Structure 1
Amino acid sequence: MIKKGQALYMKKHKTILLPLGRQFSIILVLFIVCTTGITLYNTQDYVRVQTDFLSSSLDSYSSQLAKNTQEAYDSYENICYSVAYSSVVQDFLSSKNRQSSYEAYQELRTQLENTFLLNPYISDIAVYGQDGTFASLGGSAFSYKPFADKLEETSFPYCTVGTSLINGTNCHILAMPICTLGTGQSQRLGILFLAIDINHLLSNSMTNMNSQKLYEPEILFANAQQELIYGTRSLYRTVLSTPAPQSETDTYEVKANSSPITYIAKCYSFRKLGLSLYVLVDKSQLTSQIQTISLRQFLATGAILLLVFLFVTFLYKPFLDSLKQLIDFMKSISAGNRKAIRKGAQIHQGLIGSTEINDIFNAFNEMLIKTEELNHTIFDSYTRMYELEANNRKTEIAFLRSQINPHFLYNTLTMICGMAAEGMTDKIILVTGALSQIFRYSIKGNDMVSLREELEIVKSYLMIQKERFADRFTIEYNFSDDAYDCLIPKMVIQPLVENAIVHGLEKSLKPGSILIGAGRNPRHGYLAIWIFDTGVGMPPEKLQELRHSIAASVHDKTGDASADLAKMDAQNHDSIGILNVNSRMVLYYGADYTLIIDSEEGVGTNIQLRVPYQTSDSLQTS
């Protein structure tokens, strides 16, 4: 009643009950979640700002680098034109006189040296004539011969022909044809080669433009044949495997399959020379800065949490510990610790205590004393009531069991008289022995027997009935192996078998059969026993009336077994045996174990009873 009142009060006021410790924990968790959320939001915002800055910086940096590179290669084109079509180069390549050729060579050397000084990234200038004439500032004819051979039979403009090691420097080689000057038909005199120190050119450009502290970029420079001129080859292979955007103004991501690094990249094309410039920045360079900022915020959050924890520990922990002591004491009492009840609740509040908690402990100890006195009074009353109820229950069971045999005894004695008149001495002895066994079994021994023992008595009863009815019916048994050892109340199957013969098979004009069986239901823990006869069955209204009588025999009991049995006999005389067994099953096991009856007129009747599955071995073990 108290729990029901509490539930109604909580429902009316919609109160959510939580332990104090959990409430403090929720506050701390909410504080942690909010602080962590703010930290994560700030970190995410910082990442966004840094990513935007990185993208915009990459745009300005890469476009400036592409512009500078384009201007550099345009200036190299002008240099090539000024050298290739100067009179000095023309005289050197067209001279037939060795002396004049030597003088032209000296003039050519002077011009090449002067041109060399025009640009710090020029490593070498070479003139390669059609007749094998060669002049350069430092490179050998062997270094340029492969390029001259490749271009010998082709007509070409100012172009790039590849890379070569010139004077120990990796150089990008540019070429321009040298043709005769004049109004007549132009003829090729040779090729002008310009060797550019590409490493110096691009690295110096990166240093000059990275004054704004842009994240360290990666530069790739390749020709139209996808030959790498400058940069890391493994990264260039990754770039080639990544689809480039439609527009050079777009930024896109490059990710290597074998590396966790992701780059953001820009690509520029120099269509005149067929060159491609890639500028890439590693996004993971943001990580260190993000980690630093996040670490600072989390350290600040941790310091605040530590202060809150210390506050809760020193001010509220003693209060919570005192309540926990009281709760543990209550649980100890609930577990049946009688010694704790006699000793009473004890409190240890520590250095800081609460007067309210102390008052609660004192009031609780006083309540324990009063409750203990009341419990003794209630226990004494309950013991007397239980003993009285148990005696009444045993008396009712004994009375019901004593009423099960009068019809059977009458019919059997009548059959014995008939046998005596016919002089059937042997059968009289057999039937009398079986009858004696049945009645000795019904009045002696324990109330609970194994199904195997009960079945032996049923077989004795059926032997007597077979003598009476001759070949009017057959018998079939169907029992699972584990059914025989199950304990059941004594004499609950024989009355149901008798009912099947008297009210089912005896009224039928044709031969019939009886099926007796049992099977265990492990899932629900009971043994089902059924008696099925192929007799006359029952009409629906008769079946409904019998089921109603079974239900009424459970719920309409007066406590007087004799009066209850007389009432059942008056209401349904033909089924008094079934109602008797049903009443005993309910007395043994409760209202969930009433008989289950199914019947169809002209087909037969099936009666099932269920008992909890117990054996003598399991009872001894428990």
Structure 2
Amino acid sequence: MKKEKKTILISLSKHFKIVIILFSICTIIISLYSTLRYFKFQNAYIEKSLDYYSNQLVKSVTEAYTSYENISYNIAYSKNVHDYLTSTTSGDSYTSYQSLRDQLSNARMLSPYIVDIALYGNDRRFVSLCGAIENYEDMAKSISDTHFSFRSLGIAQINMAKCHIMSIPIYSLEGNQDNYLGLLFLSIDVNSLLDNNINSNNNQYNPQIIFTHEDQLIYGSKSIYHSLETKNTPPKKETSLDRKYVINEYTIPNINHTLYVLINKSIANKQLYEISRQLLLYMISLSFIFFLLLFTLYHPLIRSLNQLTSYMKTIAEGDRRIYRKGYVIKQGIIASTEIYDIQRAFKNMIEQTELLNRKIFDTYTRMYELEDNARKTEIAFLRSQINPHFLYNTLTMICGMAAENDTGKIISITEALSRIYRYSIKGTEKVPLKEEMEIVKNYLMIQKERFGDRFQIEYSFSESSLYCMIPRMIIQPIVENAIVHGLEKSLEPGRLLIGAGLNPNYGYLAIWIYDNGVGMSSQKLESLREKIASSQINNSKNNGEYKIAKDAPISDSIGLLNVNSRMVLYYGTNYTLLLDSEEGVGTNVQIRVPYEMMLGSKVI
């Protein structure tokens, strides 16, 4: 007998407390979840903003320095520069000097960030637009190898501006190509260049820019640069810089400089804290209003129900004076329509007891009829699933065992038969595959007693498949069909294979029943497949009502058609039985079921 489920009685006041607690928990969870989601969104937004801004900045700086390199090469290998550095007379030198000054002035106008262009010859000839020879001479003397491309020489103060000095060597255009003539210097106002790029992007997170060459800081904060040097010292570890900034690192290819772009996380975190604070205030305000409204509506309801319960208990104890005197439920300012309806209904219930008794009697009569109809339906269901010949053969076998006084086998066979019938008429519509297979094994145990060594049974189940949910009693009819129409008719010892596995590509459970019995001819197989397809069409046309044609050979196919019909009713026309058979070889029947897993008391 099934144990009755215990009912937990909870007063409405406790309900009220539970609702408040659950609402508070939900409020906290929603607040935390919203904050976390916003935090993730904000971080993703910062990273995207940094990537976009960094790419724009790197592109702009690369283009700028590429143009400076082109300007430098155009000047260094121009005729004016060559004439000036190779002139031998003072007249020629003066003329070429004036032409060179004009060329340098025109070149400086090509970019607003070029502060000075200077020329320093190996014989100390010097030309500059605004800088003194002292600014460049030390740099020129520090160069030991004059075979280099466009490169950085560091930072210098030129014309009251902090400039990034770029240089290229100058060689003779005629004669000996290795004749070194001097150096060309290009002074770039790197502060204005990068500051204008920062301001032009209007980034709300105020990015920090660090521009370096080898171990020298070209632009940016010295403290951040020292932190970057510490961070890049192996082994790399998370530093305070990582926790404070989002960092992107780039290399400017044509000058081999490194550009760091950093965004301060604290700005975004400050916004996050402010939004979290506002969200928390909104939640607290909403909770207070909700609790106040809930108390205003709940308290009169609880008080009214207590009064009504007291009246009912008084009448149930046999004291009907309160009924004759009348009773009124006082609800207060805010009244519940349902309480008044309950009060009137209770009064009418007392007045019409006899009428209600007759209605109850009629109700019980109808319930009995429904139960009787349900019992008849269960019997019809049983008959459609369990072959009467199987029952007849089993009882005959039990009689034979009784004649031989084989009590042990009689008990085991009877218990197995009892389990099969009890399983087929009671329980939920869907069961785990493992539970279904227990009944199949009971059925096969009976058949093995009958057929002896006529066939062997093999099982092949994946561990995960045993807990998948399938309709009740869909495997036994297929197994019975395999024995009766396949193995029993074969003269050779047979083999019955039952297995199941998951198909991860299509998300269904495949169950197969294979026997190496007599099999079917191609004509019979095709005919059976047509009947399955026909029953599928009839199901859809008759709103799920299964009908078998009058001329259908019931003895050969009723079990398969019943199972196929149930599968279509449960899962639709994509889950019909799959049949494969060859005469003299065997038959394979496959059942496909959508993947459903039992987890605790729930199906997932």
TM range (shorter): 0.3 to 0.5
Q: Structure 1 length as normaliser, TM-score? A: 0.44
Larger Rg: 1
Q: Structure 2 length as normaliser, TM-score? A: 0.46
